[in-house]
Amino acid sequence: MTTIRFQHAIVIGGGIAGLLAARALANSCEGITIIERDTYPDAPTFRAGTPQARHVHAFPLRGQQILEAFFPSFGESLLKAGARMHDYASQGLYFYGSRCPQIAPGLLGWSASRMLVEWQVRQEMQKFSHVQWVQQCNVRGLLYENHAVRGVKYQKQGTLENPIDILEGDLVIDASGSSSEAPIWLEKIGYQPPRETIVNPFIGYATRVYTCPEEEVYRTWWSGLAIQGTGQNRRAGALMEIEGGRWMVLLAGSGMDYPPNDPEAYLAFAQSLPEPALYESIKNATPLSPVYGYRPIGNRFRHYEQMDMPRGFIIVGDAACTFNPIYGQGITVAALEAQALERCLHTWHRKKDPFSHFQRHIARLLASPWMLAITADSTQEDRKTLREQLANWYLVGHVIPAIPKDPKVERIFLEILHMLKTPNALLHPAMFVRVLIQSRKKN
């Protein structure tokens, strides 16, 4: 029998992080209200509140497993909607300084657009009758009394003259994404804003959707590719097959070397990548969309775990920690946080300060993906600790050069990217020696 921990929970933000947080609470709350600033579309299409949704989203297998655990037959529903099955080992072409060898199958999952995945999560959440939805509203602040958050103040969009409404709850979760105003809300009720760590590689993206060519000349052993620029050529690219028999193609450049939105210049940028497979695939393909640009904020960690949080308030997803999207970690991290929330609820009543405890718990959960992201993105000035310097020496200086030379190193690295293993797998003595030996071999 499920124990009810909260009478009414409020989730700020109805994207994937907010929806999964609501799912984690579904068996522990009498009522849940999701406040979303957008109007949800009636189909799996773009909405303004998720500008990143137009771009390639890798969905690490650990995140896929959690979605299946939260929503049985989730993957089956995606496949019925047109998502593609993809073996991220044997059907992925990877480039890390040079082309990686094809490896044995065993990392099977689905491949779909972010828009379809969020749509399917929303369909699953609408099956819970005690979950209510408030759309086209902005949260303006927190209700606060007796050292506890008791709800939110929110306003219908349209005009600043619209009245401020009150919604009471005994738990408020901020899942409003990278534009979260939680630091402002906390400051207004007497709390210091959290310390922030920012590592910004000044990266930009440009994405276009194509029809998958049918001609035999385009048939290859791979159905997805990822090109990671190294050395002098830091340009990157990715191609993934998504629903509707389409290719979603992303180009990226760091250090303000932003890919263009002009179609001809876009193809020229693709041709400049250090691996020609992406350009050769799309040069004669039929475009189905304009070129969409996006310039994210990079990596930002708001250290709520270092604060004494007000009772009744926690923060998840990009509102707490934003990753450079090129590593595809954000949605899986949100899923891991939701899973952690569901587990923490079982011991919630035993904690003296469960809200601060939860922020510390997810900070530990974030440690590995954060280190993996900033190790590749940081400059020498960013690497302030010995641990960060050693991580850069090993990952960038040795692991990356070893990947295309050794299928075993490639396999372990892919399992780490899919969060099936932690980066510690690369520190096993046998693997450590292997990496050092392989990285020194000439191509």
pLDDT tens, position by position, 107-132: 999 999 999 999 999 999 999 999 99
Strands 164-168, 171-174: parallel, antiparallel or unpaired by DSSP? unpaired
Give mean pLDDT, residues 320-348.
Answer: 90
Q: Are strands 204-211 and 224-228 parallel, antiparallel or unpaired?
A: unpaired
How many distinct structural domains can be found in the chain?
A: 3
Question: Highest mean pLDDT: which of 45-49, 52-56, 303-307, 438-442?
Answer: 303-307
CA–CA distance, 285 with 297 (Å, rounded to integer): 31
Is residue 387 included in any domain, yes or no?
yes
**pLDDT confidence of residue 162:** 87
For residue 194, being part of any structural domain is answered with yes
Burial class (CB in 10 A: 0-12, 13-18, 19+), 347: exposed
Instruction: Give the residue numbers spanning the domain of 392.
Output: 380-439
Q: Is residue 59 part of a domain?
A: no
Whether 2 has a pLDDT exceeding 70, the answer reads no
Looking at the fold, whether 229 and 245 belong to one and the same domain comes out as yes
187 and 229 both lie in a single domain: no
Q: For 144, what's the count of Cα atoms within 13 Å in the CB-facing half-sphere?
A: 15
Question: Does residue 432 sit within a domain?
Answer: yes
Q: What CATH number did the domain enclosing 21 receive?
A: 3.50.50.60
User: Does residue 77 carry a pLDDT above 90?
Assistant: yes
Strand partners, 207: 250, 292
Give the mean pLDDT of the chain: 92
> Domain ends where: 294, 329, 352?
294
Is 127 found in the same domain as 46?
yes
DSSP 395: I
Same domain, yes or no, for 285 and 333?
Answer: no
**Residue 70: predicted pLDDT:** 97
- Residue 434: inside a domain, yes or no? yes
**Is the same domain home to 137 and 188?**
yes
Q: Tell me how crowded residue 318 is: count the other CB atoms within 10 A of its CB.
A: 28
Residue type, position 385, single letter: T
The last residue of a domain, from among 373, 397, 425: 373
Q: Give the whole-angstrom CA distance, residue 165 versus residue 155.
A: 6
Residue pLDDT, tens place only, 159-209: 778 899 999 999 999 999 999 999 999 999 999 999 999 998 888 999 999
Band of the pLDDT at 1, cuts 50, 70, 90?
very low
Assess whether pLDDT exceeds 50 at residue 7: yes
Question: For residue 382, what pLDDT is reported?
Answer: 73
- Domain presence at residue 116: no
**388 confidence band (pLDDT: 50, 70, 90):** confident
Last residue of a domain, one of 267, 294, 321: 294
Q: Cα(130)–Cα(135) distance, rounded to whole angstroms?
A: 16
Q: How far is CA 224 from CA 194, 258, 306, in A?
A: 39, 23, 40
- 287 and 221 within one domain: yes
Q: Which two tokens stand for residue 416?
A: 């780490």
Percent of the chain with pLDDT over 70: 98
252 and 133 both lie in a single domain: no
Contacts of 187 (CB under 8 A, 6+ apart): 193
User: Does some domain include residue 185?
Assistant: yes
Token pair listed for 232: 């002098």
Residue 130 and residue 43 share a domain: yes
Contact call for residues 273 and 229 (beta carbons, < 8 A): yes
Q: What is the mean pLDDT of residues 67-91?
A: 96
Q: Are residues 385 and 417 in the same domain?
A: yes
Rounded to an integer, the average pLDDT of 326-345 is 91
Please write the tens of the pLDDT for every residue from 136-148.
999 999 999 988 9
Say whether both 267 and 139 belong to one domain.
no
Residue 215 is predicted with a pLDDT of 63
Residue 160 domain flag:
yes
Flag whether pLDDT at 158 surpasses 90: no
3-state secondary structure of 123: helix
- Residue in this structure with the two tokens 């929503």, named with its chain if needed: 71
pLDDT score of 54 more than 60: yes
Residues 287 and 414 in one domain: no
Residues 139 and 180 in one domain: yes
